[in-house]
Amino acid sequence: MLNLPFSEPGTFYKGNLHTHSTRSDGTHPPEGVIDFYRTAGYDFLALTDHFMANYDWPVTDTRDLRSEGFTTLIAAELHAPKTELGEIWHIKAIGLPLDFVPPSPDEDGPALARRAADAGAFIGIVHPSWYGLTLEDARRIPFAHAIEIYNHGSAVEVDRGSDWPFCDLLLNDGWRLQGYASDDAHTLTHDCLGGWVQVKAESLEPELLLEALKKGRYYSSQGPEIKDITVAGDEVRISCSPASVISIAGRGSRSKGKCGSAMTEASFDIGRYRDAYFRLTVTDDAGRKAWSNPVWME
């Protein structure tokens, strides 16, 4: 099965994988955005400005803004024509080289994503519900690492921020995708500090964080903490911060939830998930959630 991050060596580091600055359509300069997240207790940030001609193709160099206890990942949000609905593609590429070349006139979204992946980037399919990305669109990027399953800006502004159902449809087809939460912050007001990842790595080195992201060694959260997930035989056990609901979901309709008050652990029989996958969700009494990545069963 997919390695769970909890038994891996290292520390969980808190980071945001989707943020914009004045290098594209954000309201704060890169140093202001980074200072904001550092002050808010984050360990790392991917500044993902829009890789478009009208912003002069930014792959923002944030290396000089790293400091002791806080680092950055070099990234961008890539765009090219066109999805099934005629929209411009939105593709997350984290771990890009600074000299990543703009798309050629005949390069579409999947081809641009492929080139970024070949350059070593973590590829995320970004906020599909926000702009009507179809499953047929997503299937054109079979090498993607993850779906952006929660986008805080989209959730707050237009109620189109949740995409586990979209991801589950691909998982049902056998895709081994991860799911990550992010802010997509532009103004650092209502659109920030609402969704993040906790990445398990041996140190806060950008290369190690990137490797851990690609391997799915993280969970996502809006607030709750997942402390451990273990599998023994036909049972999975989870421990977490106080929760009102702990649930498991898998292929098709397979799901089960346990409700209570201040629950800090739960266990589930996973026999019926053996031919596919399961994932776990923790919900606190304020309705905030934490999500594991899908765990694939051999």
pLDDT tens figures, 71-82: 999 999 999 999
- Same domain for 159 and 27? yes
Specify whether 50 is located in the same domain as 70. yes
Q: Do 46 and 175 belong together in one domain?
A: yes
Q: Which of 220, 236, 268 is the last residue of a domain?
A: 220
Is 67 part of a structural domain of the chain?
yes
Q: Which domain holds residue 156?
A: 9-220
In a domain, 78, yes or no: yes
Are 145 and 184 contained in the same domain?
Answer: yes
Per-residue pLDDT, 297 = 87
Q: End of a domain among 190, 220, 250?
A: 220
Q: Do 206 and 113 sit in the same domain of this protein?
A: yes
Same domain? 173 vs 238: no
Q: Are residues 161 and 244 in the same domain?
A: no
Residues 174 and 127 in one domain: yes
Same domain, 183 and 262: no
CATH number of the structural domain spanning residue 169: 3.20.20.140
In a domain, 2, yes or no: no
pTM above 0.85, yes or no: yes
CATH for 279:
2.60.40.10
Residues 19 and 127 in one domain: yes
pLDDT number for residue 264: 98
Splitting the chain (298 residues) into consecutive groups of 10 residues, what average pLDDT does each group show? 84 98 98 98 98 97 97 98 97 98 97 98 98 98 98 98 98 96 98 98 98 97 98 95 98 97 98 95 98 92
Q: What angle do CA 219, 63, 223 make, to 5 degrees?
A: 25
Question: In 3D, which of 79, 73, 65, 13 has the Cα closest to residue 47?
Answer: 73
Establish if 174 belongs to a structural domain: yes
pLDDT at site 2? 58
pLDDT at 95: 98
1 is a domain residue: no
Are residues 190 and 163 part of one domain?
yes
Residues 137 and 282 reside in one and the same domain:
no
Would 250 be classed as within a structural domain? Answer: yes
Which of 220, 236, 259 is a domain's end point? 220
Q: How many domains does the chain have?
A: 2
